[in-house]
Chains A and B, each alone.
Chain A
Amino acid sequence: MKMSCHNAKNQMLPFLSGELSLAEVPKIQRHLDECPACAQYAVQIEAAQERLQNALGSAVTAPPTLDARVMATIRNLPPRRASFYKSQPVHQALKTKIEYSIRVTTRNLAK
Chain B
Amino acid sequence: MLHFTDEELARRAGEGHISCFEEILSRYRSRVFRLCLRWAGNRDDAEDWAQECFVRAFGQLGRYDCNLPFAPWLLRLTTNTCINLAKARSRHTTRCETLDEYDWEDEGIPTHAPLESADEARRVRSAVQVLPANLRAAILLRFVEELSFREISEVLGVPLQTVVTRCKRAVEMVRQNFEREEEQTRIRSRKEVRR
A interface residues, Cβ below 8 angstroms from B: 9-14, 17, 19, 44-45, 47-49, 51-63, 65-67, 69-71, 73-75, 77, 80
Contact = CB atoms under 8 A, between A and B. Distances in A.
A59 to B, nearest CB: 5
Nearest to A41: B172
B171 A48 contact: yes
Given A48-B174, A52-B174, A67-B29, A57 B168 contact: no
Contacts of A62: 29-30, 32-34, 47, 50
Interface stretch (B1-9, B118-126, B183-191): B118-126
A10 B25 contact: no
A59 B107 CA distance: 8
A44 B117 CA distance: 19
17 contacts: A13-B164, A17-B148, A17-B149, A44-B175, A48-B171, A52-B124, A52-B128, A52-B174, A54-B120, A55-B125, A56-B38, A61-B33, A62-B32, A62-B47, A63-B33, A69-B47, A73-B55
